[in-house]
A and B are shown apart, each in its own frame.
Chain A
């Protein structure tokens, strides 16, 4: 069979040209299948876009005809993330799960989340008094004594985000639980028991209370069998006694575990479920899902609604071929969804096979690059998928391939990797699947140079901050020493001098980012932080938020303080302090800095002008878009003087764009401001600065560098400890086991955590992941790799494997010559060296100092506003002058406007002899128009009365004659009049030509008093003049008489 139609799993390590393979596979598949039938899952939107681009590029060269065919439908090509794929399915299946097909994805679920939490709490606290849940909630809150709800918040947030539906969330199994009855029996019979704890009652607790009580009892006696360190006593014990101690310890451990489980189940799980239920209902009522729902709901449909496959067929949305990129970052749930899609054909008898379609699956990834544990990515997915496919597909239809070639890095880097990682990633054969094994790879680059791997270490004694500052200094110095040296190679493998843009600094976490920024700045190395977080912590955004907050609530003193102090107003700290001390005024009671400022600044012109400026903007809040208001303010206050730097500038623009989007959603200003309050705790990335074409060093995290490669890579902070310390995450485990099971446990008690297998496993998994992160970091480098760190002397923590440096020391290994202060290794790798800070400093000192200053060309000033008179101006002369419209509205009410329209139409019909001048016809035409105008039934009576009244008045006045049909007359005559640049167009109510004179009438239907007539004569002058001119031109008659007809009282007024 054709290679293409085999299903494959490809283990493709870093640099093995994985994307290329996927693209090639896709193009091959196009020979057999319509593009709509091929589903490609990528890890990010960005990767999807790049994959598409790649495919188009290849296709355009090789098969322009096909290229043209599919390019227009590029949006239909299903190269997408699992999220967007799930969303398209959900939309199609929405009704199966109680949603409507127009469901939307909620990008920010924070608001609904808060709402559902509060709704539930209020319900329990105010409406469910003394119920079970009420009691439990009180107990839960009181466990933290006075901290109230706040202390529980983050746990619930995490549980919430993990979306632990009651079906999926399970308590972790307790190792040894099944042995408990035997254990108890053994212990009960043991004479040592009778001797040492004669009164102790062994039991298996069934409820939370029992467990808690038992735990307390065990705690009381535990020092009988445990040492202070909570290990079974050994010293001074006989063998039998020691065995008894061990058994007791085991019993204790199981009971403690049980207690944790009970506690958690009764409290957190219970409330999480209630919150989620409320959340679900809110979402359903809004027909929205959030990101976390996408996969869960899709999976739910695929497993519980067998109709899904039919539906897809009927809508022509089924899939024959699946490709998955970065397979190692797939979660169990995601894999379950994919597996579900292919299940039918895996079973070998599906409808597809019957129709002669041979479906395939193609998974590409690298276990060693699985670094998204916190998003439920598990490297063992590889093994699992491999097993499933090889078991279920015929032999000739499935293949597992391991690639060894590396097209990316130079030999030194590959040798280094091949040296370290086999030792680091070397699990025992029966280790769990989440421990990855390293496979060596081979350098494929055609370059005689070995490249560079250099480890730079500085011995230092100091605290964390000092260590990082020192490390950053090493990096900066090294960069200075390699810049312009010919150690990077172009595509053709020819060396060329290093530019800043060739260099990327990879950080394990962003924690110490500032240290590196500072060092680079200090050494005048241009750099850019890629996807830096901390958007909300930047000065510019802090100030913009202050502006926004101030505008929605000037009494927000903190924002006012910031604003006044900021470079926009530049008040000195002293002035602000003086302002804050004001105690003038009638009440001498100021709520806020702003109020004090106003009171204080009465006689200070500078301050008054600040107040005026701010008041001006305050007055516009709600009347003008907030984004525009802020930008105007920035302009007016010369703010760009201080925000000139590009990263700041783009951050501000990003901020304004978010404001704009919130406004477009219809949020009132206060809620817009609040959005930023809430989000300030979010890790919002800074705005992207286009890195292309900027000759700057890039700084990013290893996670952000995934899938990328760089000529020169710095892996920094080798010495940093890889284990977390005491964060909230540490006391909560959310461990995805498979698609249906997530083990979850919250345990604030560190002693209980130590006893818990699941907590211990979590720790180990994280350690394993650290190894992979190191692997990913190292393998980003093409030509040169620099690793820097601080070699703490003496090493504070000597736990094995606790830092990357430790790994290198153990596995390279690294030797340190105290006397010479030099590092060395016995491992022979061409291009590998280990240098100390002193050596580096010597290198740097030899550098020639050059300064190049470019003269910038002067910029042309094009500030003046553009203006251009239009060739022609079209001016529609409406029936009524807008200002008078408003006046009528104000004085008489909205109905009068409609009434005017209706009367005009009736008069026209009479003039054109379509209806008679009779009350009956008047009324029936009016009612016809009421219908058409959709006038509230309630108003009919009132309007009809007025129409009738006017009819009676007109009937008995000369107006009647004018309205009625007659020769040489026109009603609602359209006209165009050109006067210079201006073209007027409109309609004239009534024209009667008699005796070579045009009599022109304009109906006014609203009530007026006699005194107003003169005013209206004046006001309508211009309008009537245009009418008269137009009529005169059209009929070629010089004599035109104009009149206003006030139908409300039947008067005719000449103009």
Chain B
């Protein structure tokens, strides 16, 4: 017999070493190139190579060939294949889309999977055979031939046939074809000794063929399998492999008996969150490293789904300073430079939404744009109220300048910055404009993209090697797309689809991580195949993740798959079961199983394989990381995090008071609006007007309220610019003025129309209010009247009075237009210090026109067609003025005194942006909550 199968129990240590020892038996010298070793995973190959090197006494030798089946067939393809190109797996869906353009890339992926499986497992059937068999089965099952499923499967089969045909005519091979082809090339290789280091049971039909061919070619074959019957359910898979080998009639069996305990009913640790699970694993490693015999190099950490754990694991292991190797594949689409490119495309596809556009403009990877602009664009565009569309961006500078000017913040330096930002934005828009917006071919899009990236100087500048590699890989990926289209023909697709294809493609394109081999090995579950260790940590063992249920198949029903011997759910479970039991039994010293059972509102049960006792994670009486140490100290000192939220009160600080006086001191005039703002909320006033750190919200679809205010003011100002206008002329005049003002405002037509709509609505009410005033004998006297006066020693206040009406008795009415929501202007409000504006205006007017009287003062709410009068019933304006003066003096003193800790008078705390850090919460006397918070 040329072949020997060595049967070992689960948990046998160093089986590979044993197997290799058999293989080199009798070879003298240091040329082992006649040995071909086939293993299940690249990681296992690496381990086997080291094992082998360790086994050979010589310091230098020619090694055996070590391959996985896939590596082996690829090698043959590279060496011997003529005239063919290889279709990488991730091009398959693109090709399928070419065949059937209206299926999504996601569905194409599923069809590709269907093609892959059928080509791997049903190698002996032609496309027509397959169609016949499958459709017959369906009819037998009672599936109507005009029914949906029948049609769907038929469609998938027809895509498969066309796909194969296309590959043939265009001379491409997919991975399965490469496997089949390699059968022919195997005769070119010399294999004397073949080592089949088990663990790759569950061979596909195609793989079985390749292995058979290799066995036939070899002179001697050494294979490894298991005989552990103590766990019969896990034993099914290796037994299948044995059956396969024995069918060849070339093998004898040799049992290596060795007593190894079986681990079943292992206890498992249930952690409350993923963070705590990984934390537990890391702390246990660290603890046992110090207190037990844990060796990092002999420790294996695996998770049912490493991709889910990866970032958390990296973060926590770094924190614990445990050296590890973790080679997960990284995909291009998740690298920062490529994210920037995709964001750019998304910006173009969606007509330049603010965030995407800002993300592009401020990205480190687009060198075309100046750092200066990168710094300011987020703030600028937020402030300018940009939401999206190239149109909005085109004159965002002008809008912004108008707004800043209104707030008195526009300086020449700022103007320069804005201009520059606008300029660079224009560049971005103009260049992007050239990108095909409608339909184009893949290559056309790709070329434009290349061009655009060159113009934006993508990844140019000082970047590390990693970025350079990403850049190159990205351009490679683009080249592959173009090449693909060159061979398979061009189709016009919309930009949206191009983005999707690109996203998909980059999602599949791996960039190879650096491989480290130090410390603890952290591996995906299937990567552990064939490995052994001293300590095993196996996490993520919850029902939802392990053993899982294979992938969702929209095409073939389970029963049909079972019938055709395609991978089915049963098979998947059989496979996972075997690997699970082998793995947990393989650690020489200890196996630690764990999972987390909650994530937000979700609850997870243990994996069905966990049959031991559930335990909470061990809490060691030790400190493993800086973080824990810091927490420990914090707890000991009982540090209170909110301590930094202290009331802002500078009344004991002369230096600060001096500074405040520079802005609000005796030499400065303080506007009534400033006082009002302080009154509304001193802390907010401090934030926005003293240290200028306002918190901007994401823009909404609307015009800045201040802009409306300006428009309204401008309209009414011009209306009475030259004195009273006869009632009947008000309407036509306002319409004219409004059109002029709107035109100057540079608003787009829509908002201009809204403006006209608003005025159309309010005009009749305005007129009737005017009429009313005139009936009482009042006529407009002055508009936009700027007044100032001192209200106490050292205090000057100023105010701009929108409108002053006068009657023949030298009485005045003060009016202030408001476009916002209604506030109270009641005498009560004045008394409680909320609204001082009107009485203070009254004071200013009186000062300026000493021989006149104030009949009344009102806030004219344009949105509500209402004037809220200060004087109602028989209260006295004079008294109110005096109260207001008193209050105003207090406010001014408070401001100069730096007292910003006082409670707000009219702001509502519960919907204030600053609430979460506002010291007001420390004040128990103030009810800051609302009542409409349900559930």
Contact = CB atoms under 8 A, between A and B. Distances in A.
A540 B641 contact: yes
A509 B275 contact: no
Contacts of A148: 700-703, 708, 754
A1017 to B, nearest CB: 24
Contact of B60 (A576, A592, A621, A975): A975
B342 A49 contact: no
Contact of A1034 (B61, B340, B391): B61
Contacts of A163: none
Given A52-B605, A622-B365, A558 B694 contact: yes
A666 interface: yes
Interface stretch (A3-11, A430-438, A560-568, A833-841): A560-568
Interface in A98-133: 100-103, 115, 117-118, 121-122, 124-126, 129
A677 B698 contact: yes
B382 to A, nearest CB: 9
A553 B380 CA distance: 12
A124 B751 CA distance: 12
Nearest to A466: B927
B136 to A, nearest CB: 15
A50 to B, nearest CB: 7
Contacts of A861: 622-623, 629
Interface stretch (B80-88, B723-731, B777-785, B793-801): B80-88
Given A307-B148, A573-B648, A643-B631, A862 B624 contact: yes
A137 to B, nearest CB: 8
A882 B465 contact: yes
A639 B144 CA distance: 67
A666 B334 contact: yes
A985 B353 contact: no
Given A644-B632, A870-B517, 20 more contacts: A49-B605, A118-B388, A147-B705, A148-B700, A465-B925, A469-B924, A540-B641, A558-B687, A558-B695, A589-B411, A593-B693, A623-B364, A641-B633, A671-B356, A868-B295, A931-B85, A935-B483, A974-B62, A978-B53, A1033-B60
Given A934-B86, A977-B60, A574 B297 contact: no
A863 B643 contact: no
Contact of B297 (A142, A464, A638, A871): A871
Interface stretch (A70-78, A225-233, A811-819, A1044-1052): A70-78
A539 interface: yes
A514 B929 contact: yes
B259 interface: no
Interface stretch (A88-96, A216-224, A411-419): A88-96
Contact of A144 (B46, B483, B863, B925): B863
A277 interface: no
A725 interface: yes
A201 to B, nearest CB: 23
Size range of the chain B interface in the assembly: 35 or more
B252 interface: no
Contacts of A307: 147-148
A935 B46 CA distance: 30
Contact of B603 (A49, A126, A589, A863): A49
22 contacts: A44-B601, A49-B603, A72-B577, A75-B549, A118-B701, A146-B705, A146-B758, A150-B702, A316-B559, A539-B642, A567-B641, A660-B311, A664-B334, A687-B273, A860-B622, A862-B286, A865-B321, A866-B296, A868-B323, A932-B81, A934-B483, A974-B63
Interface stretch (B101-109, B197-205, B423-431): B101-109
B333 interface: yes
A321 interface: no
A1004 interface: no
Given A74-B543, A91-B554, A868 B519 contact: yes
Given A932-B86, A1033-B60, A537 B30 contact: no
A934 B274 CA distance: 42
A511 B557 contact: no
B815 to A, nearest CB: 17
Contact of B104 (A287, A678, A932): A287
Contacts of B758: 142, 145-146
B375 interface: yes
Contacts of B483: 934-937
A584 to B, nearest CB: 13
B618 interface: no
Contact of A932 (B85, B322, B624): B85
Contacts of B622: 859-862
Contacts of B144: 310
Interface stretch (A27-35, A607-615, A624-632, A791-799): A624-632
A674 B382 CA distance: 12
Contacts of A1032: 60
Nearest to B58: A1033
Contacts of B573: 72-73
Given A311-B149, A374-B934, A978-B59, A874 B517 contact: yes
B128 interface: no
A770 B227 CA distance: 66
Contacts of B152: 95
A304 interface: no
B559 A685 contact: no
A576 B691 contact: yes
Contact of A537 (B78, B476, B916): B916
A147 B549 contact: no
A311 B153 CA distance: 12
Contact of B623 (A512, A685, A724, A859): A859
B698 A678 contact: yes
Interface string B347-390: 00011010110110011110000000001101100000001110
Interface string A573-600: 1101110110000011101110000000
A115 B350 contact: yes
Contact of A565 (B311, B342, B644): B644
A727 interface: yes
Given A556-B378, A635-B319, A121 B701 contact: yes
Interface residues on A, range: 35 or more
A562 B644 CA distance: 10
A642 interface: yes
A315 B693 contact: no
A317 to B, nearest CB: 9
Interface string B891-935: 000000000000000000000000111000100111101111111
Given A145-B863, A663-B311, A1032-B60, A701 B334 contact: no
A28 to B, nearest CB: 22
Contacts of A889: 468, 472
A141 interface: yes
B273 A674 contact: no
B701 A625 contact: no
A50 B748 contact: no
B110 A868 contact: no
Given A287-B106, A589-B414, A649 B702 contact: no
A650 interface: yes
Contacts of A464: 927, 931
A72 B934 contact: no
Nearest to B701: A149
B358 A463 contact: no
Contacts of A677: 697-698
A347 interface: no
A725 B314 contact: no
A975 B748 contact: no
Contact of B691 (A115, A580, A703, A974): A580
A557 B692 contact: yes
B869 interface: no
Contact of B557 (A145, A316, A890, A934): A316
Contacts of B627: 634-635, 640
A485 interface: no
Contact of A983 (B53, B62, B637): B53
B612 interface: no
A486 interface: no
